[in-house]
Structures are given as structure tokens and as C-alpha cells.
Amino acid sequence: MEQNILLDIKRLKKYYPVLGGVLRRKIADVKAVDNVSFRILKGECFGLVGESGCGKTTLGKTIIRLLEPTAGSIYFNVPPEILEEIDKLENSKLRDERKLRELRRKYDLATYKGPKLNLIRRKMQIVYQDPTTSLNPRMLVKDIVAEPLIVQGIARGIEARRRVIEMLYKVGLTEMHLYRYPHEFSGGQRQRIAVARALITHPEFVVLDEPTSSVDVSVRAQLLNLFEDLRKDLNLTYLFISHDLSVVECIADRVAVMYLGKIVELGDTEDLYNNPLHPYAKALFASIPIPDPTVKRKRIMLTGEVPSPVNPPKGCRFHPRCPEAMEICAQKEPILKDVGNNHFIACHLFE
Amino acid sequence: MKKNSILTVDNLKVNFYTYEGIVEALDGVNLNLMPGETLGVVGETGCGKSVTGLSIMKLVPPPGRIEDGKVVFNIKNRTLNVLELEERILRKIRGRLISMVFQDPRSALNPVYTVGDQIMEVLLHHRRKILIKRIIDRLDEKIKEGKAGFLEKFYKKMLTIMMEDPKSDIIELTSKIPFLRGYKRLLKEEAKKEAINMLRLMRIPDPERVVDMYPHELSGGMAQRVVIAMALACNPEILIADEPTTNLDVTVQLQILYLIKRLREEFSSSIIYITHDMGVIAEMCDRVAVMYAGNIVELADVIELFKNPLHPYTRGLLESIPRPGQPFKSIPGTVPSLINPPKGCRFHERCSYAMEICTREKPKFIEVKKNHFVQCFLYQSKSSKKTR
Amino acid sequence: MKKEEKKEVTTGFRYRLREFKAGMGPAIKELKFTLRRIRQSPLSIVGIIIIAIFAGIAILAPIIAPPVMRDPYRIFRDGFGMEPRPPGSPVSEPIAREKGWTVHYFGTAQGQYDIFYGCIWGTRTAFRIGVLVVAISLIIGILLGSVSGYYGGIIDEILMRFTDVILAFPGLILAMALVIALPLMWEVDVGLIFLIAAAFLTPVIILRVRHMGGLGVLIGLVAALAITAYKFTIGLSPIWVWSLQLSRLDKVLIALALVGWPSYTRVIRSEVLRVKQEDYVEAAKAIGCSDFRIITKHILPNAIYSVIIMATLDIGAIVLTAAALSFLGIGAPEGYADWGQMISYARNWIFAGIENPWQYWYTFTIPGIFIFTFVLGWNLLGDAFRDILDPTLRRR
């Protein structure tokens, strides 16, 4: 077992009930995140890509308990021996239920409630996509960035102010900006304020939910450089969610591709982008427009559209659109397997 | 002015009069579009590319006002300056000769009408006569074969009158009598058939079912295809596409791009493609215009532009495309406010090659190499050709 | 070490002063922006001027119209004659003459009530009724609306059905019924109220500290209900009783407030629902903010705009309703300085025979102009607020 696992996510599910009928009962589930398991290592930038509706934002928010998981476990910063023990307990035939439950209650983030959960919040934070809506338009910058300190009881008054100024300088702003409202700043600066707010409690894990999608190309590079610098400076671990595949290629160490609530392929960035194995991943990477008119890439055109997550196809969720679908794909769901070189794939073609 | 271009934009100036001041959105834009080509207009947010597209159709919303310039159409040997035409004539041109596809298909479609209704609206507005003619021909056939009853002969008579003079009294009269106004139904059916045809051309599966659906029932990609169908329904000469794929997923974007490419051949339209994505430009366009802060700073063939970018801004844009293994490069500074734009060249504050003259005067838009135009003092002396 | 500590303290005070001054910066900028917007809308300036004039009249009432009776809100009567006398008629009552009244500037109404006096002091009444009723409705509306909108679920359902019931009644009729039904003399067991409040608040506060505010509210509600039930079934000896004497005008106030709060609740609830969706509310949750903090610091400051506009427009409407009630005779008491009351004195004199029908125009026209202008002023102000506070137009 590796020594530096920051997050171990096991069989995470997030379903939304669909109410219908006269009595508004649950008639179906929107399976936004369906049985996702993976690990994030300390200090890495983990990329999560997929198209709209695949569940990547839901996954990010569920991991930091902004949404309530329907099932599954989230182990944050748990020593590897404990993880091993939990693994052993879950896989053994005679499960010691009591011991398992005890360990879960202690370490599994999904079971935390109340003050315990609140303590964890300072270790995991999120930066939203659109800085215009993620900052309270009626609050001054100084209050926005100081709020986590006050709410978490870490610092107040002068001490809080000192930390706020320190953080503002780190993200490239100055104390001149303390007494201003968010609307007085440009998009890029607003995103920096959002980053300052996220980092002020010195979290270890930050979910970046499409942080550069709402800003211009030139600002994008500035923000990405900022993220890289901060990661090294403050020892952060990122979950970088994006639908912009070219950006993820440059910033992430490892990447996971999601489709309809499941991870279909996972691997080191270079390996994955140059040699995608899953048919969906292949089509996805092949559809990135190349900024060079002389290069003609071989395109894989997918037919149809992404189906609704309320009624996903049986078996492998991609099989109705998959150009290499086999009979078994319509019946059995493939499991994420290691095919060597840290490359995981969920496809019957590779079993 | 190029003689054989289908559209020429000459020194277009547009201002927006807002609470905060006058936003000089377009500062003398020069473009030309050749028949059958795809011209890309690329730039960041706020550079004025959308305003340019709207100005070509004279659709700039208040508080915007077109201050100066010409937009000249060169179709079927007639020249029209769009900006000088009155609304009545413009309404005939919009949708028929020039069409526009917008960025967000959801807001371009009216949520309370079915998709079919909206395509039919375009058809009935612009191609009424063609549709009526089709029905009349069909009815004629039936009459010749002797299979027509009294009603059909009557309808044919009505439709012929309608084709000439839709507002004539007899049409008004018969349209009130339930039994006699069946010919209107014929017209609607014909329009619906044509709408289904358009949907099928857009490669929308099961078009007979889709034509009765409402926009919210469609996915983003499908909705965008419907919008494109509406735009192409009357086979316009020019199609202006304003970031049509920006809001769509990357696989759907590919489908739409290929669709547009195919339609380009089938409909032989000229396209102005507005986007901020250099990859899409490389994929779709024959020539490219680079916009910055209300000016076209560079205009060239697409391969030439990517190989030899001349303007510092174009260079900066191409360098800021993320490449793996390399640090992220960006253009320092931010886009200036257009309320009190910088004097001289609007890019000089961020330009690493800025000279003294750049802060005082605005460079002219000149042809530096064959078919390669730049607006930059770095190349002023080199050029010997005249200003466009 | 001690010396450094001492320095901290003074820095603390100076620091606070600096903070205050710096904090004024953005507030002043906001003010400047608002003033600029006001300047650009001439109608809103008219509205502000009108209300300012009325406010001036209300404040300076004792100077403009010196009181004659012991209770300044009682209009002095110059005799007991039935027929109204025109503007300019002399004052003959000795006490009034003593206080400086020589002439009836606006004439007298039926019963020789001085119209000028009634209109001037009626301004005070108008402000009192309008502002107080709207304030009470606002407070109730904010409390219930934000809880309903934020928590949703069954609390929301119950509250909304309750407001539906009240809104189903025609407002004026309900107000009339309440005015008649409310007793003048109230025996309120203040001690009991304090007890219930304490029972409710204690669990809320204790559990809020441990981030279980929701549970605290629930326990508090149960405790409060338990005590109430105990009191009304088994019986509890009165703890500390106050007796309240309500004037007729107070009854009007309470009635109008009881009729008015549902609309505010609804508006605030819908705004809360809208703001709840915004990213920054979710971001606040991600930081670990308690529900209370989210509602008070994040949601309400952004949800309150449309209600403020509604409140401003409502003040005018409330004054009109109160005038209607007075006209019908169930509003202000006899001889009270209230515009509606003045018009009710004109009831018999609006049309005075065929020969000279508008003979007594001053009895209803003048109070009518006061009412009309007052309501107009608030309406213009409300429109001005709407233009200024419109988030889409605000700041580019």
C-alpha cells in the first residue's frame, strides 16, 4: 500500500430521488454518482474529466460532504495501516461487523455529523466555477476571506486581519482590495478572492470545480500558474474538475474519465492522453480541436447523445453508443481494473 | 474594396451609451467575406466580435448605436448598404439572405412553441410563395388526372390569389368560413413537411417526432441543430455563427462542426464563424480575423496565420494555448475598459514590442504580405501596398 | 513584556478607529452611486421632496399648529355648529385665541373642527400608522418567510397554508372585523410570555454552539408548546400580568398589521428560495457556517430588496386603508386628528344642494389632497427604490 494516500474513496454513490405520482413518492433515482472508487495521493493534482451530466461536479461536492452521500465511504488522511485493516475486514468472509463499524465511525468521512464534520471542513475546501456567483455581492472582500476563520473559530479581529492580508498577497492581490465589493473586480481577480477564501484555513485538499471556465484565455494562464505555485507553496492536493481536456492535460498528474456517473478510465496524464484505451475516452480525446490547421486528427464520431442518468442503459452504460460494443456489454457492467502501469479501465474489451 | 466579395464591412464604428459612460465597442472594423468561404473571427470576451456580427444584420440593441461605417452586401449583382436600409426591407433580408446562429440554443428558441412551429414560422415568412407554388403544382397534377373534387379546385383558386395578394378581400372572407379555409391548412402542412425535411438534413434522428417537441425536451446539441435548421431554412447566402458550440460538450461540438462543414457544401453558404477557441478556428475556417478591443488587428489565411502570426496579440494568443510539459504563458495585463480606451493602438499597454508612436497614433490596417493584413506599427514601414 | 501588551491595547482602539474610517470608504462609494442614480430619475426626486415636506410638517406640527386641547391629537372645536365654515372664517373660541389662533386657514368641518389643525396633525398620524404597520408586517414577514423558505419541508407547507387562509379574506373586510373584535383592554401575562420565550431560546442557544441549531429549534418549540399546553389545560397561576389599554387607533394598527404580514412572508419566502440557489450560499455551507449565520449574513441581505420596495409602496396603501376605516367610522376616535376622520366629517357636505353644490369643497378636498399627495410621494419613492436597487441595472 502506498504511503501517501490522502483520499481513499470506496464505492461512493450519490442518488437523487425522482418524485412522481399523486403522492409524490420516489419512482426512480437519478444516479449522478454510481459506485465510484479511486484514490488521490498527497500533493498530486488529480484531474476529473467528462461531459455534462457525467457527475464530475457531484462527485467533487460529495467528497467534501457538501452533498450527502447516499452510500459508500470517504477516507481522508487515514494512516495506511488502518486502510489496510479496513480493506481486509471488508473482503474477508467472516466480517467482524462491530470492528468495521467502529473503524468506520472513526475514520469514514461519510459517517461524520455535526461538530466532527465541521472540523473536517477546514481541511477540505472548494473553488467554484463562476466567481461572480460564488462570492456574496453584499460582502466586502475582507469579510469574505475572513469568514472561514471566524466561523471555524480559528482567529478573530486583528489576528484574522493579519492572515487575510497574508493570503491576499499570496494570491496576487493587495490590502488595497480589502474594502471593496466583488463586483468592482474583474473575473480573474474575483476568482483569486475565491481562492483566498478557500485557502485561508490552510486546507490539505481543494476541489477546483472548473475554475477557469468562466474567464478569458489570457487570464486562464495566470490562474493556472497561481494554482501551481500555491500547490507547491502550501502543500496542497487538488481535484481538478474540468470539461476542458487541453487544460487538464497540462496541469494534472493523473486523470480519471467519467461517463454517466462511473469512472471508465484512470491513469497517468501522459499515458492516458496518448494512449486511451476505453472507446469513450478514445472518442473524447480525439474530439479536442487542435489549434493547428495543418494537422488532421483521426476523429471518432459518436452517434447519439448522452442518455439521461435517470435510466442509464443496462450493463455497460456506454454500450449503445460504443463502436466496439460486444454482446456481453449489454448484460454485465464492467469493473474498473488495473491493466498495468497505473492504468485502470472499465471495459469488457480488456478482461 | 474587393470586387468579388459577397460582404464588405468598412470602417464600422459602434458605441454603447451606458450609465458609466460611452463604451467604444467597435473602432473602425474592416472585414470582407468571399463567396463560399468560412471567415473566422477570433478574440477574447469583450473584444466586440458579437457586436460585429449583430451590426452586420443591423441588430445592435440599445443603448448601442452604429456611428459610422458601411456594411455592403454584394448579392446577385446588387449592392446594398445594410446600414442605410429601412426596417421593412431589412426584415426581408434577415433570415433570407443573412442568418444568424446564436451561442445559447435554449435562449434562441421560444420555450412555448414547438420546434416545428418555430421552423415553420421562418418558412412561412420568407418562402411562402415557393410553398404555395408547390401545393398548386400538386393540385394541378390532381386536376389533370381528373381526381380532383370541387374543394380542391377551389383551394387552388384561393392559393393562386393568395400568392399574388395575401391581403385581398376574398382571402379575408374565406378565412373566416370554417369549411372554406382548408387551403390554409394545406399551406401549414406543406411548411411542416419542409420543416421535417430540414430536421432530417440536420441529421436529427426521428424528425417526425422531434418536430412536435418543445425546446426544453431537447438536449443542447439537438437544440443547436434546430437553431441551425431555422437559420438555413431559407438557404441564406451568408450565415453568421456566433459561438454556436461554446456551450456544448466537446463530443457534441465535434458533431455540430462536422454538420456545419457538410451543410457548407450542400447549401454553398458563406459563413462568418465567431469564436474564442483557436482549435475550432483551425478546424473550420479558411481565413481568420483576429479582434482585440474593437479592432481587427490581423487578417490572413488560416494556415498563414498559424505559421506566421504577425501582430503581437495574435502571437500572445497562440502562445497562451496550454501545452503539456510547458509552463502556462499568458498575455500580461488585462483587456482595457472601452469607456476611455487607451490612446493610439489599444493594445500598446500589454504589448512587449510597444514603441513610442503606439501610444499616440493608431496604426493603419495594411496588407503586409499577400492577403495578410496587420494593424501594427511594427510593419508600417515595410508595407508598400495601399490601405484597404 | 508588559509594555508591549499596553501597546496592543492602544493599537486596539486606534485600530478600531482606523477600521471605522476605512469601512466608511465603500459605504460612501455606495452612497455616491445611489445619489447619482437618484439624480437621473426626476420622478424619484419629486417623491423624496414630497415625503421630506410631509416629514417636515409632521415634525414641526406643534409650531405650525399650536395645540389647543390637552391631547394635541384632539382637534379643537370652535363652537358646536353643524354647518362647516369656509376658509378664512375667524376663530372665536377663547382658549384657541389664547394659543394664537385667529383664523381658520382651511375652514371648519361639521362640528366646527378646524380643518387646518386636523390636516397638520393628521400628518403625524399618517406617518405613525403607515410606518408602524409596515414595520411590524416586515418583521413578522422576515422571520416567518426566511424560516419557511430556507428549511422548506413541512414547516414551509404549514406556514404557507396558514398565510393562504389569511390571504383568502378580503383585506379591508378582515381589517374591519378585527378592529371591531379586538378588545380595548388587554390582560397580558408577560411572565408567561417570558417563560415560553426562555423555554424556546435556551435549547436553541445551547445547541447552536454545538452546531446543532436545527435540533435546538425543535426542542425549543416542543418546550414552548408544552408550557403553553400546560397553562391552558391544567392551569398555571398568573405570573406577572400587565394590563394594556389600547386606543382605537392602536386597534387599527394591530388589525392592519395582522392583515398585512402574509404578503410580506410570501415575497420574502420566494426571494429566499431564489437566493438559496446561489453558489455563495453553498460556499458558506462549505466553510461551515451555521444555518442562522447563512440566513442572516448571506441570504437576507440579498433577498431584502424587493421587500423594501414593496414596503415603501405599501405605506401609501396602508394610509389609504386606514383613511377608509376612519371614514367608515371604525378607525380613529371622534375628534382625532386623522385625514380619514376629516373626510368622514365631510360626508354630509360633499354635495350641498342644487344651487351651490361645491359650497363646502374645503371639507373634503383639502384632506383629500393631503392623502393623495402623501400616497403619491411614497409611490414615487417606491418606484425610485426599485430603479435604484434593481440588481440588473446596478453597477454596470
Question: How is B75-122 classified by DSSP, letter by letter?
Answer: ETTEEEEGGGS-HHHHHHHBTTTEEEE-S-HHHHS-TTS-HHHHHHHH
Residue B381 binned pLDDT confidence (cut-offs 50, 70, 90): low
Q: Is C71 on the interface with A (CB under 8 A)?
A: no
Percent of chain A at pLDDT > 70 equals 98
Q: Is A130 on the interface with C (CB under 8 A)?
A: yes
Looking at per-residue confidence, does B113 or C153 come out higher?
Answer: B113
3-state SS, one letter per residue, for chain C: CHHHHHHHHHHHHHHHHHHHHHHHHHHHHHHHHHHHHHHCCHHHHHHHHHHHHHHHHHHCHHHHCCCCCCCCCECCECCCCCCCCCCCCECCCHHHHHCCCCECCCCECCCCEEHHHHHHHHHHHHHHHHHHHHHHHHHHHHHHHHHHHHHCHHHHHHHHHHHHHHHHCCHHHHHHHHHHHCCCEEEEEHHHHHHHHHHHHHHHHHHHHCCCHHHHHHHHHHHHHHHHHHHHHHHCCCCCEEEEECCHHHHHHHHHHHHHHHHHHHHHHHHHHHHHCCHHHHHHHHHCCCHHHHHHHHHHHHHCHHHHHHHHHHHHHHHHHHHHHHHHCCCCCCCECCHHHHHHCCHHHCCCCCCCHHHHHHHHHHHHHHHHHHHHHHHHHHHHHHHHHCCCCCCC
Work out the average pLDDT over C8-22.
Answer: 65
Q: Which of C211, C298, C395 sits opposite A115 (nearest CB)?
A: C211
pLDDT the model gives residue C4: 42
Cα pseudo-dihedral C200, C201, C206, C211, rounded to 10: 90
Nearest chain A residue (CA) to B220: A305
**Which of the other chains make 3 or more beta carbon contacts under 8 angstroms with chain B?**
A, C
Amino acid at B284: M
Strands (E), A253-296: 254-259, 262-268
Whether residues A302 and B255 touch (CB distance < 8 A) is answered with yes
- Distance (Å) from the C-alpha of residue A291 to the closest C-alpha of chain B? 4
Q: Is B62 on the interface with C (CB under 8 A)?
A: no
CB B180 within 8 A of CB B151: no
CA angle B160, B164, B166 (to 5 degrees): 95
Q: Do strands B78-81 and B64-75 pair parallel, antiparallel, or not at all (unpaired)? A: antiparallel
Whether B351 has a pLDDT exceeding 80, the answer reads yes
Sign, Cα dihedral of C328, C330, C332, C334: positive
pLDDT the model gives residue B1: 44
Interface test with A, best of C287, C293, C308 (most A CBs within 10 A): C287
pLDDT the model gives residue A266: 94
Chain B CB contacts of C396 under 8 Å are 18-20
Whether C308 has a pLDDT exceeding 70, the answer reads yes
Work out the average pLDDT over B163-176.
Answer: 75
Work out the average pLDDT over B335-341.
Answer: 83
Residue A4 binned pLDDT confidence (cut-offs 50, 70, 90): confident
What part of C 39-58 touches B (C-beta under 8 Å)?
40
Chain B CB contacts of A218 under 8 Å are 44, 316-317, 320, 330-331, 334
3 state DSSP class of B175: coil
Whether residues B251 and A287 touch (CB distance < 8 A) is answered with yes
Strand ranges of the sheet holding A25-41, from the earlier edge strand across to the other edge = A25-41, A5-20, A71-76
The pLDDT tens digits of the residues spanning A269-285 come to 998 988 899 999 998 88
* C-alpha to C-alpha distance for A285 and A45, rounded to whole angstroms: 19
Task: Please tell me the least confidently modeled range out of A223-232, B66-75, C149-158, C379-388.
Answer: C379-388
Residue A128 binned pLDDT confidence (cut-offs 50, 70, 90): very high
Residue C202 lies in a domain: no
* C-alpha to C-alpha distance for C63 and B57, rounded to whole angstroms: 67
Q: What is the mean pLDDT of chain B?
A: 85
Whether A183 has a pLDDT exceeding 90, the answer reads no
What part of B 256-315 touches A (C-beta under 8 Å)?
257-258, 276-283, 302-303, 306
What part of B 177-206 touches A (C-beta under 8 Å)?
205
Q: Is C283 on the interface with A (CB under 8 A)?
A: yes
Whether residues C26 and A140 touch (CB distance < 8 A) is answered with yes
Nearest chain A residue (CA) to B248: A52
Whether A52 has a pLDDT exceeding 90, the answer reads no
Residue C396 binned pLDDT confidence (cut-offs 50, 70, 90): very low
Q: Is C396 on the interface with B (CB under 8 A)?
A: yes
pLDDT the model gives residue A1: 54
- Distance (Å) from the C-alpha of residue B275 to the closest C-alpha of chain C? 24
pLDDT the model gives residue C387: 73
Residue C61 lies in a domain: yes
Segments making up each domain of chain B, as ranges: 7-50+62-112+214-287, 117-197
Whether residues A133 and C278 touch (CB distance < 8 A) is answered with yes
**Which of the other chains make 3 or more beta carbon contacts under 8 angstroms with chain C?**
A, B
Interface test with B, best of A189, A218, A242 (most B CBs within 10 A): A218
Task: Please tell me the least confidently modeled range out of C148-152, C236-240, C266-270.
Answer: C236-240
Chain A CB contacts of B327 under 8 Å are 225
Task: Please tell me the least confidently modeled range out of A219-233, A292-306, C18-32, C115-129.
Answer: C18-32
Q: What is the mean pLDDT of chain A?
A: 87
Read off φ and ψ for residue A261, nearest 5 degrees. 90, 0
- Distance (Å) from the C-alpha of residue A55 to the closest C-alpha of chain C? 18
Whether residues A289 and B306 touch (CB distance < 8 A) is answered with no
Strand ranges of the sheet holding A237-242, from the earlier edge strand across to the other edge = A124-127, A205-209, A237-242, A45-49, A254-259, A262-268, A344-345, A337-338
Interface test with A, best of B106, B224, B226, B249 (most A CBs within 10 A): B249
What part of B 185-224 touches C (C-beta under 8 Å)?
none
Question: Which residues, listed in sequence order, are joined to residue A287 by a DSSP beta bridge?
Answer: none
Amino acid at B243: E
What's the CATH code of the domain at C80?
1.10.3720.10
Among the listed residues A210, A209, A335, A330, the one whose alpha carbon sits nearest the alpha carbon of residue A278: A335
CA distances from C335 to B139, C72, C75 (A): 87, 11, 6
Residue C225 lies in a domain: no
DSSP category for residue A166:
H
Nearest chain C residue (CA) to A142: C23
C82-100: b or e for each residue (b if 16 or more CB lie within 10 Å)?
eebbeeebebebeebeeee
- Distance (Å) from the C-alpha of residue A125 to the closest C-alpha of chain B? 24
What part of C 259-318 touches B (C-beta under 8 Å)?
none
Q: What is the mean pLDDT of chain C?
A: 82
Neighbouring C-beta atoms of residue B351, cutoff 10 Å? 22
How many contacts does B have with C, using Cβ atoms within 8 A?
6
Residue C198 lies in a domain: no
Question: Which residues, listed in sequence order, are joined to residue B23 by a DSSP beta bridge?
Answer: B16
- Distance (Å) from the C-alpha of residue C283 to the closest C-alpha of chain A? 7
* C-alpha to C-alpha distance for A140 and B174, rounded to whole angstroms: 68
Nearest chain B residue (CA) to C37: B19
Q: Is A298 on the interface with B (CB under 8 A)?
A: no
- Distance (Å) from the C-alpha of residue B102 to the closest C-alpha of chain A? 18
Residue C10 binned pLDDT confidence (cut-offs 50, 70, 90): very low
Nearest chain C residue (CA) to B17: C396
Residue A28, C-beta contacts closer than 8 angstroms, at least 6 positions apart = A17, A18, A20, A310, A311
Residue C216 lies in a domain: no
pLDDT the model gives residue B388: 40
Neighbouring C-beta atoms of residue A55, cutoff 10 Å? 25
Interface test with C, best of A136, A164, A210 (most C CBs within 10 A): A136
pLDDT the model gives residue C355: 76
- Distance (Å) from the C-alpha of residue C118 to the closest C-alpha of chain B? 45
Nearest chain C residue (CA) to B339: C396
- Distance (Å) from the C-alpha of residue B260 to the closest C-alpha of chain A? 15
Looking at per-residue confidence, does B310 or C91 come out higher?
Answer: B310
- Identify the CATH number of the domain defined by range B7-50+62-112+214-287: 3.40.50.300
Whether C199 has a pLDDT exceeding 90, the answer reads no
Looking at per-residue confidence, does A280 or A87 come out higher?
Answer: A280
Q: Is C392 on the interface with B (CB under 8 A)?
A: no
Q: Which of A148, A180, A197 sits opposite C26 (nearest CB)?
A: A180
Whether residues B249 and A306 touch (CB distance < 8 A) is answered with yes
Whether residues C23 and A148 touch (CB distance < 8 A) is answered with no
Chain B CB contacts of A283 under 8 Å are 251
Whether the upstream peptide bond of residue A291 has omega within 30° of 0, thus cis, is no
Residue A167 binned pLDDT confidence (cut-offs 50, 70, 90): very high
Work out the average pLDDT over C16-22.
Answer: 74
Whether C5 has a pLDDT exceeding 70, the answer reads no
Residue C219 lies in a domain: no
Total domain count, chain C: 1
pLDDT the model gives residue B2: 54
Q: Is A299 on the interface with B (CB under 8 A)?
A: yes
Domain of C260, in residue numbers? 46-184+246-389
Q: Is C308 on the interface with A (CB under 8 A)?
A: no
Whether C271 has a pLDDT exceeding 90, the answer reads yes
Work out the average pLDDT over A238-258.
Answer: 91
Residue C281 lies in a domain: yes
Whether residues A218 and B316 touch (CB distance < 8 A) is answered with yes
Residue B385 binned pLDDT confidence (cut-offs 50, 70, 90): very low
CB A190 within 8 A of CB A135: yes
Q: Is C92 on the interface with B (CB under 8 A)?
A: no
